[in-house]
A and B are shown apart, each in its own frame.
Chain A
Amino acid sequence: MNSGPALVSILRQGSTLIASIHTALDDSELVRFRTDLVGQIGEHRCRGVIIDVAALDVIDSFAALTLRTIAEMARLRGARTVIVGIQPEVAFTMVRLGMGTGGIPTALDLEEGLALLTGGADGDRRRS
């Protein structure tokens, strides 16, 4: 384990896991984040995962891929994933470079993300 401030925090709120990424992660940190997060889904028997990326001003292709795989792995373990807090510049850069979030739903911020997960029908409609 490395010392210093936490790079990510994973909190449980009801049946939802809230994972906040506080700073840019390198590839190995991303992999560890993925392992931790997917592991905790099982531990807490979660139905929803929110990944908050508001602190990131860069999301590279590996990070985008990791987010997609987390969502897919979470789905296989019975939880829906929402990515929240993508910054405007980040959003446009991701689209420009052709690395969207695949089919993962996104929301403006944590509050919206929670609303999306709890009001499932609304969320499904919004994605269409």
Chain B
Amino acid sequence: MTQTTSGQHLLSELVAHLREHRTKLREEWAERIQQAHLLTAMTPQEMAAETTSVYDNYVEVLETGSVEALQHYARDLSERIIPRGVETHEVVGIVLLLRDVLARSLFEKYQRDFGLLNQVLDAYEPAANRIANTVAVSFVDERERVIRQQQDAIRELSTPVLPVRERLLILPIIGVLDSDRAKQLTEQLLAGIRRHRARVVVIDITGAPDVDEAVANHLVQTVDASRLMGASVIITGLSPKIAQTLVTIGVDLSKMNTIGDLQGGLEEAERLLGYAVTKKEDATLS
């Protein structure tokens, strides 16, 4: 009991100390952040504003022991800084720096009385660690939320099957092609072939960063299935990376008709369908 009371007494004493030297400690902290090259995405003014509010929040949590306000603040802060490319290690880094700066100042204040310093640190350290923990967890949570949101957005992006000319479809693939999306793509393509009575389909995968083995095989199967429905498939825009993947995993590509880019693919498709595109002499771009 007395232990707790004295702990609380010490804590309030140290909070008072931190409030008293607020400006000096905050500046020292900001300097340390700069030296460590953290938060480089922020302007000095923003840094000053953020460090001040983080500092005040920090001291308040030390005083009240309630992490809820801090959680809220950390989430809010994360929401603001994540889009600017602030990394997890930077956020954790600055909180740990603040902890160290404040600990140093406590060392300085209580250096003559080692026993008292010990007690102060006993009160300070758990609270400070809890804060560091809370901030880091909030930041990572927020990041994961953003990632989840983006994944949903990608999934929701439909895979459009677009008729370009009579009996010619194009299917641009943008974004990561996972198994779910590949399956959806196949269904839409085969249905599109029937609906539009397509004879040639150009699948453009310029916008797909990478494919794995399952998706590559799925793609080959889609090409085969399209052929069974009487449509030839031309694949365009294979990046060097994807080309390498396909060759390395040994997908049978002998039946795949591939052309470098979408333009070439369309030209080949027009050739297959017997179209001849000619330029009018008096064409103007007005």
Tell me the A residues contacting B by CB distance below 8 Å. Answer: 83-84, 86, 88-92, 94-96, 100-101, 106-109, 112-113, 116, 122, 125-126
Residue in chain A with minimal CB distance to B223 = A95
Contact A88 B232 (CB under 8 A): no
Contacts of B230 in A (CB 8 A): 84, 86, 106-109, 112-113, 116
Q: Select the residue from B199, B228, B232 with max chain A CB neighbours within 10 A.
A: B228
Contact B224 A95 (CB under 8 A): yes
Contact flag A88-B272 (CB < 8 Å), given A100-B224, A108-B231: no
Contact A126 B221 (CB under 8 A): no
Contact flag A88-B199 (CB < 8 Å), given A96-B221, A101-B228, A106-B229: no
* Tally of contacts, chain A with chain B, CB under 8 A: 61
Inter-chain CA distance A101–B272, complex, in Å, is 22
Nearest chain B CB to A75 CB, angstrom units: 19
Contacts of B225 in A (CB 8 A): 88, 91-92, 94-95
In the complex, which range does the number of interface residues on chain B fall in?
Answer: 20 to 34
Complex interface residues of chain B between 193 and 245 (CB less than 8 A to chain A)? 193-194, 197-199, 221-222, 224-232
Contact B272 A125 (CB under 8 A): yes
Contact B187 A88 (CB under 8 A): yes
3 A-B pairs with least C-beta separation:
A88-B190, A107-B230, A91-B225
Contacts of B228 in A (CB 8 A): 83, 86, 90-91, 94-95, 100-101, 106
Contacts of A116 in B (CB 8 A): 230
Contacts of B227 in A (CB 8 A): 106
Contacts of A112 in B (CB 8 A): 197, 199, 230
Contact B272 A91 (CB under 8 A): no
Q: Does B57 touch A at the CB level, under 8 Å?
A: no
A-B contact pairs, 25 of them (CB 8 A): A84-B230, A88-B190, A88-B193, A91-B228, A92-B221, A92-B225, A94-B228, A95-B221, A95-B222, A95-B224, A95-B225, A96-B221, A106-B227, A106-B228, A106-B230, A108-B193, A108-B197, A108-B198, A108-B199, A108-B229, A109-B230, A112-B197, A112-B230, A116-B230, A126-B272
